[in-house]
Chains A and B, each alone.
Chain A
Amino acid sequence: MTSSTTAAPERATARTGAPMRRAILVFISRYATLIGLLAMIFFFSINAPETFFSRANFINILSQASLTAIIAAGLTYTLVVGEFDLSIGYVGSFVGLMVAGFMAKAGLPIPVAIGLALLIGIGLGLVNGALVTKVRINAVIATLGVGTMLSGIGFSYSAFPIAMGIPRAFTNIALGRPLFGIPNPVFVMIAVLAVLWTILNKTEMGQRMQAVGSNIEAARLSGIRVDRVKMFAFSVAGFCAALTGILLTSLLGSGTLGAADGYLLDAFAAVFLGSATMREGQFHILGTLVGVLVLAVGFNGLSIFGAPTYFQPIFKGGVLVLAVGLSTLARRYAAQA
């Protein structure tokens, strides 16, 4: 034994690089998104100190990010429990159209219209959840089917934007700036993220959600009603999608067919970026927020620097692929360590 221990060091030198490299890779996969976000902010601030690095622009970025953050936070829940929700964009569009119709066509008071619209969102989430847990349809298929049907139903409800008859008070919701010149949707986003973070990290339901996402069989055998947990996650995703849809209608001043469809891709990119942020591929609310900010800062910078419009989808798609790649890598390194 002694002879081998003395001989060991000289042979060792060749290989000490490997664990180092592993550690660096783990560090990169954990903090790459944060570093990327800071680097972008740094780069844009230096190169466009007037336009980018200004209070007005930061508020602009935040308000752009707020709608995405709300819908992405809901999506995070379904991913935490190991499912998918591809219907969120369509749900947002549909609910946005309906809330406009409730006010403009049915003449309902604003709070009633909003309340009904949110209930529709929750209901659609429960439909998704039931299809996935009770009928056992693959979540990708079930939510894609529901979403596609919604776009058709929306079309039958109103093929044209509903703009006439929407009360000023409703459009003021998204435009109002009650504090420090920060618009309402930012506060709504903060409230939603705070509540969702608390539920996920500090409540029994949150623990159950994480358990289900971690090992569904073990969760079931620990006495967790797995189906209920998943239904809850889907209903939250539906609620958040509806909220984004309502705010979007308020922002646009009209209920427009397919208006929120594009949030689906943004939300997915943000959530997967977030899962590679500070964790090893686990989905979490703060990470999602970071992901949303990466997208928002990126878009903002691109437009400030006058990047051509076609560059936006390239950026968005690139970020999505990069995000999922990072998330997968993070999980793989975590499994090996």
Chain B
Amino acid sequence: MLTSSSPIIRVASNSEQTRPGAAARPALGPWVEIRGLGKHFAGEVALDSVDLDIMRGEVHGLVGANGAGKSTLIRCLAGVTVADRGTIRVAGEDLRPGSPRAAERAGFAFIHQELNLVPHFSVLENMLLGVPKVTRLGLIDWKRSGAGARLAAAKVGMRVPLDTRVSELSIGERWLVMIGKALARNAALIAMDEPTASLSAAETDHLFALIRDLSASGVAILYVSHRLDEVLDLSDRITVLRDGVIVDRSERGRLDKAGLIRAIVGHDVQTREDRPRPLVTRTGTPLFSARNVGRGHAVKDVSFDLWRGEILGFGGLVGAGRTETARLAFGVDRLERGHFELEGAPLRIRDEADAVQKGLALVPEERRSQGLMLDQSVAFNITIAALKPFEAVPGLPFLSSSKMRSAANRLVKHLQIKTPGVGTRIAGLSGGNQQKALIARWLDTNMRVLIIDEPSRGVDIGAREQIHDAIRDLAKTGVGVILISSDVEELALVADRVIVLHEGRVTGELTGADITESRIVELSYLDRAELAGAES
């Protein structure tokens, strides 16, 4: 992991001369001009006549709810999607639509959340992927081919040797590889989608410093994120999209967070103070407990109690053992130490199906790879966890499609899932609506404990609020909720109680008014010894 204290990034002072794009700076007028860009998907407006300028070397924040058109805009820039109308001009010349190669030649680079790296290739091989290499007698001369990449790697502050396999790198280091890869191709605009979603605080700091350096050296950054504090902190200018239309543009300092949120959702968002929560009674037998559970190094020793109707937050850093604890509870991984209890009785879970039968439910961390059946309909995705209620004749294994449809319709309405219909493929929905569908999947089961992992990652603010409401509503019905989140604001907003994990152990517990973002962050970085030292 990278440390924030040391200045790791040293951008060569002559870098402006080495990049052709930067040499033209300061140019008058915008470098990239998007005019009247429009795109429809299946009759729905994704982008409606968007005008946007990008200057050389600026950090341009792009925010908006999911489905607001950010990804469509970026896909048009990348040449992956062809707009119905409008133009993109780069340095006064039209960019050929629908051509990723033209986009790359124009100096655009795109880094998505799912980093497109080949895990078993080395850092260098990944950076040179798709780049013509210097060959001798038909064999690749890595030394000479890699010269530019090595320079780029130094520029981004890569500390690992370039022959390290990417699979051994942390997410933060992989981001550096992606940025280095872009620089090695002389990128003059790097679009980053939700870059800090899986980064530690130190890695985030490093990335921000790097972004500022890149910007100073003439590389424009298109920064797409739901983390508004970061966007406000970094951006020279911010563009807000809503329903395919630009609803706000602002220079640095003109907008604050509340203003941004208003622009994104179109109305004010409530804060914790606005929502008094019924007091959870924590007496008698807890609903669900962990007693010194552990497996390998990821989960060393975790104990907690969850009460009926309680929302218990799991705070901590990525890799603190929160998801791993959830996997143990749900029977995905075998328990090596300790045990779980349900209403005071020892709970032995054989596998996931057993967990579901015993009243556990899991909304997993990775929506696309672990949650959604993408080529199936919304109704299919909602009903798949509990099919018994849809038997045409109870007791016989035949299902009634109309019963399934009406149940799906009811849940879609209940959770305000935006979809043309329950027969629509779930792949076409926005991230927030997909996430709501995954919650809906469990609502008709005999669920007593819901484990929900990073429920609002990559989800827009409006949907996030609705997801939080859904979680609160569930808790009101007596379900115990374990909420795992790296978003400390979310924990502070939603959880009744928070336990913080660090390196596989519980390092602290916060209740009621003590649940503040700063306390959670503090505890996240402390291990037990430090904690004991601090308290004594």
Contacts and interface: CB of A to CB of B under 8 A. Distances in A.
B29 to A, nearest CB: 17
A202 B392 CA distance: 10
B376 A4 contact: no
B81 to A, nearest CB: 9
Nearest to B35: A4
Interface in A196-254: 198, 202-205, 207-208, 210-211, 214-215, 217-225
A223 B399 contact: no
Interface in B319-374: 330, 332, 351-353, 355-357, 362, 364, 369-374
B142 interface: no
Interface in A7-61: 7-9, 11-12, 15-16, 18-19
B376 A221 contact: no
Given A4-B49, A8-B36, A204-B387, A223 B85 contact: no
A16 B84 contact: yes
B51 A1 contact: yes
B146 interface: no
B384 A211 contact: yes
A221 B352 contact: yes
A2 to B, nearest CB: 9
B355 A223 contact: yes
A207 to B, nearest CB: 6
Contacts of B388: 204
B375 A207 contact: no
Contacts of A16: 84
A261 interface: no
Interface residues of B, number: 46
Q: Secondary structure at chain A's binding surface: helix, strand, loop or mixed?
A: helix
Contacts of B380: 207, 210-211
A8 B385 contact: no
A67 B373 CA distance: 33
A221 B384 contact: no
A55 B269 CA distance: 72
Contacts of B332: 220-221
Interface string B40-54: 011000000101000
Contacts of A282: 375
Nearest to A13: B85
B441 A222 contact: yes
A225 B353 contact: yes
B373 A217 contact: no
B49 to A, nearest CB: 5
A5 interface: yes
A202 B87 contact: no
B49 A1 contact: yes
A52 B399 CA distance: 42
A222 B36 contact: no
Contacts of A207: 380, 383-384, 387, 399
Nearest to A223: B356
B387 A15 contact: no
A280 interface: yes
Contacts of B369: 215, 217-218
Contacts of A222: 352, 356, 384-385, 441
B374 A215 contact: yes
Contacts of B370: 215, 217-218, 221
A9 to B, nearest CB: 7
A164 interface: no
Interface in B289-335: 330, 332
A334 interface: yes
A219 B373 contact: yes
Given A12-B85, A15-B84, A207-B399, A223 B375 contact: no
Nearest to B246: A1
A16 B83 CA distance: 9
Nearest to A6: B36
Nearest to A12: B85
A12 B441 CA distance: 42
Given A7-B35, A207-B387, A218 B86 contact: no
A295 to B, nearest CB: 26
Contacts of B35: 4, 7, 11
B246 to A, nearest CB: 8
A4 B53 CA distance: 13
B8 interface: no
A203 B397 contact: yes
Contacts of B85: 8-9, 11-12, 15
Contacts of B376: 210-211, 214
Most buried by A among B35, B36, B353, B441: B36
A278 to B, nearest CB: 14
B116 to A, nearest CB: 16
B91 interface: no
Q: Which of B371, B384, B391, B399 has the most CB of A within 10 A?
A: B384
A97 B362 CA distance: 50
Contact of A202 (B51, B97, B357, B399): B399
Contacts of A335: 427
Nearest to B327: A221
Contact of A223 (B97, B372, B385, B397): B385
A18 B82 contact: yes
A210 B377 CA distance: 11
B38 interface: yes
A50 B468 CA distance: 71
B291 to A, nearest CB: 24
Nearest to B332: A221
B36 A7 contact: yes
A225 B351 contact: yes
Nearest to A10: B85
A203 B399 contact: yes
B100 interface: no
Contacts of A19: 82, 84
B98 interface: yes
Interface string A153-175: 00000000000000000000000
A225 B427 CA distance: 24
Interface in B270-297: none
A4 B51 contact: yes
Contacts of B427: 335
B373 A15 contact: no
A4 to B, nearest CB: 4
Interface string B381-399: 0011101100100000111
Nearest to B425: A334
B274 to A, nearest CB: 34
Contact of A215 (B372, B383, B398): B372
Given A8-B36, A15-B83, A207-B399, A221 B49 contact: no
A202 B401 CA distance: 8
A218 B370 CA distance: 4
B397 A11 contact: no
Nearest to A204: B387
Contacts of B364: 218, 221
A222 B38 CA distance: 39
A279 to B, nearest CB: 9
Contacts of B98: 18
Contacts of A198: 398
A7 B356 CA distance: 57
B426 to A, nearest CB: 10
A203 B372 CA distance: 20
Given A11-B86, A12-B84, A211-B384, A218 B371 contact: yes
A218 B375 contact: no
A188 B162 CA distance: 63
16 contacts: A4-B35, A4-B49, A8-B85, A16-B84, A202-B399, A203-B398, A204-B387, A204-B388, A207-B380, A211-B380, A215-B370, A217-B369, A221-B330, A221-B352, A222-B384, A282-B375
Given A7-B36, A198-B398, A218-B370, 4 more contacts: A19-B84, A204-B397, A219-B373, A221-B364
